[in-house]
Amino acid sequence: MWWYEKKFVPEHEFEEGPFYNLSLNKVTIWGVIVFYAILLVINLNTETVFSLNNFTMMCIAPILARLTAIDLKHQLLLNVYVLPLFIIGLINAGISPNMTLLSSITGAAISGGSLLALNLLLSKINNKNNIGGGDIKFCFAAGAFIGLELLPYFFWLSFFIALIMYPLLKAKNKYISFGPALIFSLWILLSIHNYFY
């Protein structure tokens, strides 16, 4: 990990994720390539290639790729990346013609709040945290990007991607990283965002 990433995480919180043996920087680079390829393929035949949404996505792709790599390696979604994503999501909503700031704030509150409530309920039932704090904070950031309208699609797509990833991740570790499913779901919804509006 880079020095500023280690600065914000106590040493005892580092865990061995499902892909602990992979190089973090290589996974990040490949993640950026995959994110850009998805964006290019989906928007290739549209006239919105140079839209504000696509510019924002090109700016956040390295952050999302790094979050994916760190979560697969250490099962962490770092605040040093999630907080700027939340702020960028609010700024994007403020200047976007397709979304209001109120929708962004409401989406963030409901997205993160519902995952937080689910975690509190599950922790009362079985006395342990089932959903990571980073996943909850990332849902706040994702809600700021997609707003209230796309929130159901975000959660359904996240669960579907997690089901696809489950056999691979479960074979390598006893805990599953839900962050990559959330990240890919956000990326896919942002990629097809132009088709919704």
Burial of residue 21, with CB atoms counted within 10 A of its CB: 0-12 exposed, 13-18 middle, 19 or more buried: exposed
Please tell me the predicted confidence (pLDDT) of residue 152: 93
Which pLDDT does position 102 carry in this prediction? 94
* 18, 177 contact by CB (below 8 A): yes
Gap between the Cα atoms of 127 and 139, Å rounded: 23
* Backbone φ and ψ of 99, nearest 5°: -145, 145
d(C-alpha 176, C-alpha 97), whole Å: 37
pLDDT at 127: 81
Per-residue pLDDT of the chain (197 residues; tens, 9 = 90+): 666 676 766 666 666 666 667 777 788 888 888 878 887 777 666 666 667 777 888 889 999 999 998 888 888 888 899 999 999 999 999 988 888 999 999 999 999 999 999 989 988 888 877 788 889 999 999 999 999 989 999 999 999 999 998 887 776 666 678 899 999 999 999 888 766 65
- What pLDDT score does 75 carry? 84
Q: What is the pLDDT of residue 82?
A: 94
Domain-by-domain residue ranges, the chain?
21-196
Of the candidates 144, 155, 163, 154, which has an alpha carbon nearest to the alpha carbon of residue 188? 154
| pLDDT tens string 184-197 | 999 999 888 766 65
Q: Among 147, 137, 149, which Cα is nearest to 182's?
A: 137
Task: State the average pLDDT for the chain.
Answer: 84
Please indicate, yes or no, whether the overall pTM of this predicted structure exceeds 0.75.
yes
